[in-house]
Structures are given as structure tokens and as C-alpha cells.
Amino acid sequence: GNSVTQMEGPVTLSEEAFLTINCTYTATGYPSLFWYVQYPGEGLQLLLKATKADDKGSNKGFEATYRKETTSFHLEKGSVQVSDSAVYFCALSRTDKLIFGTGTRLQVFP
């Protein structure tokens, strides 16, 4: 079946630290992969996406590369800010729905 596994949180970092949130997936075929972010009290916002192997999605300093050989889509940022504190969801697409990981809470302290 299709599934997404994310590293458990919370991830706690100091401002300007390097961030990695791991995401691996199981899927039939070649799904598109996404990272969504949910700020406190809000809905989900699309952060970045990749639609085929070796694609790199990027936005707001965040990056993730679609690795078919390791079935991974890890999220990275070189220097986090306090404003990046949120819950991050990795997801894969099927025609009829998105399948989400359980989410990883990121807390960034000054």
C-alpha cells in the first residue's frame, strides 16, 4: 500500500541551526511528493513539491530532493528562524487523495 513515514518530533533547534526532517515513503508507481506546513491555529500551506525522481523542490530557504533509490524526500534548511516554528507534514499524492505522514513539530528558540 501507500504510506509516508516521518521522523517523530518535536525537533528543537536554536535560531540559525541546520534543519533536517526525514521522510520516507512506500508507494506503487511514481507519486508526486509534497511538504506542507501548519502554523499554530491555521490550516495547511504547501511549502514545496517534487513531481519526479531527482527533482528538487525549494521555497523560503527549504529544500527537498525526490530520491527514488532511497524512497526519501527529506526536508532541509540551512538556517532556521523562530518564525519557522510549526508542524511539517510530508505527503504523497494519489489521484484521489493525499497521504500524509504524522507530522513533525519544529520548535526554534532565539
- The CA distance from 42 to 82, in Å, is 17
Selected binder of other proteins within 57, 64, 88, 101 (CB under 8 A): 101
Which range binds other proteins by CB under 8 A, 17-25, 54-62, 67-75, 86-94? 86-94
Q: Kindly state whether residue 74 participates in binding other proteins, applying the rule CB under 8 A.
A: no
Which range binds other proteins by CB under 8 A, 15-23, 43-51, 67-75, 77-85? 43-51
- CB neighbour list of residue 85: distance below 8 Å, 6 or more residues apart: 106, 107, 108
Total residues contacting other proteins by CB under 8 A comes to 23
- The CA distance from 99 to 95, in Å, is 11
- The CA distance from 60 to 13, in Å, is 18
Question: Per-residue x/- marks for other proteins, 3-42, CB under 8 A?
Answer: ----------------------------xx-x-x-----x
Answer whether 36's CB lies under 8 Å from 47's CB: yes
Q: Kindly state whether residue 69 participates in binding other proteins, applying the rule CB under 8 A.
A: no
